[in-house]
Structure 1
Amino acid sequence: MGAKIKVLVLDDSMVFREVLSRGLSVDPDIVVIAKAENPYDAIDKIERFQPDVITCDVQMPKMDGIEFIRQLMPQHPVPVIVVSAISESVFDALNVGAVDFVTKPNVQSPQSVENFIKDLIFKVKAAKKAKVVTQADTPELDVSSVSKIQSKQVIAIGASTGGTEAIYKVLKTLPKEIPGIVIVQHIPPQFSKMFATRLNQQTHFEVLEAKKGDYLETGRVLIAPGDQHMKIQRIGDRFKVDVFFGERVNGHCPSVDVLFDSVAKEGGEKAIGVILTGMGYDGAKGLLSMRRHGSRTLGQDEGSSVVYGMPKAAYEVGAVERQLPLDQISKGICQLLR
């Protein structure tokens, strides 16, 4: 048996520090080595105890969690999981270097706390394997090479841990004059709409949380709701999406495989599939199906992935035509569209 994962819990609430500490300690592979009530206390304990993973509240006195992570990363690039109420601030935390987030439970509900702890334990184990990726500006693309793209094509993207930032960087550097994009990002249902709204504001695309019957259009991005699967359907020369509740696939709803399988059947050689950073193997079989149906496929490389799980699984089964670093994915997509 390997060494236990050492966790530092940072939260200004003594009650919640205990909830986190006791919950995490139930798992035999995890040990809470220290608890901190504010970021200054945490810095001292990080240097003293050398944790593998930090759980961090966002709203704290003296210094909020986002500023703490921003200051922490250059000196101590430790994987951080943000523990937050439902708020767009989690995306700010991911932007400055956190690897993932969990939503605070209703502490009056034993079931809510149990589900929260289960989710947190899974994410702590993923974070232990995660790479803290330094933030860097990605150059804008020359759009002249994609000005004559046929509107019949579709681009499908799947991601999990580290994916919100990866997707932002890809969209930020893609020209608007490209086919419609469908995305599955593993994300809680309360956050998928926030994520879509944020991308809509920060990129030149029209980004929407997908609804049943939405059509893909040039310059439009549709993101699967956080608790529903998404498929595409060809209607003549256009593609329409369907979103629906269903059983988890590969442990996830929405599942990347569900989307990719539909794109393989409906899009075939008119489609491009991209698998980005993420824990596990969701998307590998679907991307392979896409490739077998004539789609072109790309995967994020190990060096730029926060967690090289999903891209690795897809690469190992032969689903990935080319592996590229994150800052080259946009260019790779444009090359396939020529």
Structure 2
Amino acid sequence: MSVKVLIVDDSELVRKMLSEMLGSDPEIEVVGTASDPYDAREKIKLLHPDVLTLDVEMPKMDGVTFLKNLMRLHPLPVVMISTLTEKGADVTFEAMDLGAVDFVTKPKIDLHHTFEDYAFEIRRKVKTASKVSRYMLERQYARYVSNQQRQPTVATVSSPEKYTADAVLPKKTPSVSRASTGFKLIALGSSTGGTEAIKEILLRLPADSPPIVITQHIPAAFSAPFANRMDSIAAMTVHHAEDGMPIEKGHVYVAPGDKHLLVMREGTRLVCRLNDGPPVNRHKPSVDVMFRSVEQAVGTGAVGVILTGMGADGAQGLKDLHELGVKTVAQDEKTSVVWGMPGESVKIGAVDFVLPLEQIAQKILELGSR
């Protein structure tokens, strides 16, 4: 049975491009298009779509205002279509807070050489969104309302070739142990739904928590705004990772959206290293690459965490950590938007603890203090 999609965008050209991209997949049916939220509201009632693609910035009513009404009255899986601007990033993350499943950047008119890559990405995200339950959408919206009440306001490029972490950092027998490093480090990987999952974890961690390195599959233009957004709400200090940046207690390091993040040892300290190697598991940054570097630089002084996400990136890296003796944690299926990465990790025996999202921060603190 095909996934029924309604495209909501004020640009006739974008509606046409998205219709062509999505409609070319036999598993997707574009049931209609709408030029503004009012038009979309009527067509949702008439066409009963499974998924919406929703423009962030539209006349008459912006995408976030429309999304608030939608999630409150008639939750549907939504993939946001975002502009490559700072404002577009801020609005997109607010949409993710509200319950949007994922986002892609707005297609450019001159897509000649990247049309197929872009089409593959949006088709994949729409099909993934169609599998998200109404329970998950209602849960996310309830969390958004709760957060608004209790606290003050303060992508990944697909590749035709599939490399492993060996393409960036060859595997070798780790020569470090917890005793030799004297260092605790939390290594965390995520993808679809991960921006919100990461936020929920960081909100629960005190300022003096062990350092955290994060690889989240996210477009390059959005990784810095994401890190800045997390820094504004977390007790820990959150950085958009830079090459050579020292890794210190109480700090979080988010991988840039177009570079692999590696943890390397320099004398007695750990530092961030950015690597421009090929995509691994079709992702750059790759969770497997980060986990590989943590295995080699930190050893059993680390804690490995895998959160909600599509695919299997990070599963093998987590298993390697687990087999070394590193304690590992995976988000459970019920609280994951997509139980791909954590599910695969559990399937291959890479996980010590499978926990709902709300319990992961406490487990991190517990394991980080041992």
Name the TM-score, length of structure 2 as normaliser.
Answer: 0.85
CA distance in structure 1 between the aligned counterparts of 2:241 and 2:132, rounded to whole angstroms: 29
CA distance in structure 2 between the aligned counterparts of 1:224 and 1:284, rounded to whole angstroms: 18
Aligned-residue offset at 1:263: 1.1
1:34 pairs, out of 32, 35, 50, with 32
1:283 pairs, out of 298, 314, 336, with 314
Map of 1:21-100 to 2, 5 A cutoff? 21-86=19-84, 87-88=88-89, 89-100=91-102
CA distance in structure 1 between the aligned counterparts of 2:319 and 2:353, rounded to whole angstroms: 13
Conserved 8 A contact 2:186-2:368: no
Question: Counterpart amino acid of 2:338?
Answer: V
Paired residue for 1:115? 117
Paired residue for 2:127? 125
Instruction: Identify which range, 52-61 or 35-44, moves more after superposition.
Output: 35-44
Q: Is 1:240 equivalent to 2:271 in the alignment?
A: yes
Aligned-residue offset at 1:151: 7.2
Aligned-residue offset at 1:76: 2.1
Deviation by residue 1:46-90 (Cα, 9 ceiling, x = unmatched): 122221111000111121111111111132221100001112211
Aligned-residue offset at 1:277: 0.3
Conserved 8 A contact 1:303-1:325: yes
- Secondary structure of 2:338's match? coil
Map of 1:161-180 to 2, 5 A cutoff? 161-180=192-211
Aligned-residue offset at 1:161: 0.3
Paired residue for 1:8? 6
Aligned-residue offset at 1:265: 2.0
- Give the CA RMSD over aligned residues: 1.7
Aligned length in residues = 327
CA distance in structure 2 between the aligned counterparts of 1:316 and 1:24, rounded to whole angstroms: 31
Q: Is 1:292 equivalent to 2:290 in the alignment?
A: no
CA distance in structure 1 between the aligned counterparts of 2:107 and 2:35, rounded to whole angstroms: 19
CA distance in structure 1 between the aligned counterparts of 2:120 and 2:59, rounded to whole angstroms: 28
Map of 1:203-242 to 2, 5 A cutoff? 203-242=234-273
Paired residue for 1:202? 233
Question: Counterpart amino acid of 2:263?
Answer: I
Aligned-residue offset at 1:92: 1.0
CA distance in structure 1 between the aligned counterparts of 2:112 and 2:198, rounded to whole angstroms: 35
- Secondary structure of 1:175's match? coil
5+ residue gaps in structure 2? 152-180
CA distance in structure 2 between the aligned counterparts of 1:47 and 1:322, rounded to whole angstroms: 43
- Secondary structure of 2:312's match? coil
Conserved 8 A contact 2:55-2:63: yes
5+ residue gaps in structure 1? 141-149
Question: Counterpart amino acid of 2:360?
Answer: I
Aligned-residue offset at 1:42: 1.2
Conserved 8 A contact 2:207-2:237: no
Name the TM-score, length of structure 1 as normaliser.
Answer: 0.92
Aligned-residue offset at 1:282: 0.5
Aligned-residue offset at 1:103: 0.6
CA distance in structure 1 between the aligned counterparts of 2:268 and 2:46, rounded to whole angstroms: 61
1:20 pairs, out of 13, 18, 21, with 18
Conserved 8 A contact 1:151-1:217: no
Instruction: Identify which range, 197-206 or 24-33, moves more after superposition.
Output: 197-206
Conserved 8 A contact 1:106-1:113: no
% identical aligned pairs:
45
